[in-house]
Amino acid sequence: MSAQPFLKWAGGKRQLLSQIKPHIPKQFKRYFEPFVGGGALLFDLKPQRAVINDVNAEISNVYQVIRDDVDALIQDLEQHQNNPDYFYALRALDRQPDFIHYSALKRASRVLYLNKTCFNGLYRVNQSGQFNVPFGRYKNPNIVNADNLRHVSLFLRRHQVKILNEDFSHAVKGMRKEDFVYFDPPYDPLSDSASFTSYAAGDFGREQQRQLQQLCCRLDERGCRFLLSNSATDFIKDLYQDFSISTVQAKRSINSNRKGRGQIAEVLVKNY
């Protein structure tokens, strides 16, 4: 068994790997992923050197704790209970002022527990950065996948994976021509009511999409290679019209608007 994604993730790339991988450069020195989330492509490629980033401090912390203290994390996960009272009590911790004093280990254990037991495996927070997904009512959720967590820990340590909690533009500092970056940002919404960008406090709207495109242009000028996933909206296609754009079909089951479920067209944008 090798390391696999340990988080359920809305918009995760597991089911698109067969369509994404033909677009990956055959050789690169370092792998960058500024919006790592569940890390499906990271764990599939298993690059020898990588820099991963998530603007959500809780997600970055989970990766760090798995890398540095996996046995203690597994032991803590085994103490969790699959019932709504326990779930809502643990979910409410980030509403309390002393939450900032919780240890990295306890915070990581909480995130993994909530991810495995909440509705649909969503990771969603409100504008204050507080987790707000309801209890999922699963009979036997896999809260403790000890074998996979140990494989992930080994991979992160052996493959020199640097873990950041920065803005996406800072996560690619130091990229060179021999390096490769995969961008999987919050997607441009298919409609005004279909937006799901709340993985961290604050929005990722059209202005942030433009900033990301400008970053891609700067990387292109430096000779760096990038691949980007996003919605196949007119806005995104116009934004990246100077680059190579391919359309792929993704199956999405998590969306507040029925138009955003089922087979959805997405784009892969690259500069090589």
pLDDT digits (tens, 9 = 90+) for 212-247: 999 999 999 999 999 999 999 999 999 999 999 999
Residue 46 confidence (pLDDT) above 90: yes
Neighbours of 5 (CB within 10 A): 19
Domains of the chain: which residue ranges? 69-146
Q: Is residue 57 a contact partner of residue 169, using CB atoms and an 8 Å limit?
A: no
Is the Cβ–Cβ distance between 103 and 72 less than 8 Å? Answer: no
Q: pLDDT tens for residues 169-196?
A: 999 999 999 999 999 999 999 876 554 4
Q: Residues 69-146: name the CATH superfamily.
A: Adenine-specific Methyltransferase, Domain 2 (1.10.1020.10)
Whether the pLDDT of residue 257 is over 50: the answer is no
95-144: per-residue pLDDT in tens? 999 999 999 999 999 999 999 999 988 888 888 889 999 999 999 999 99
**Token representation of residue 199:** 């993985």
Q: Residue 85 above 90 pLDDT?
A: yes
pLDDT at 201 (0 to 100): 57
Q: Is it the case that residue 258 has pLDDT exceeding 60?
A: no
Strand partners, 225: 180
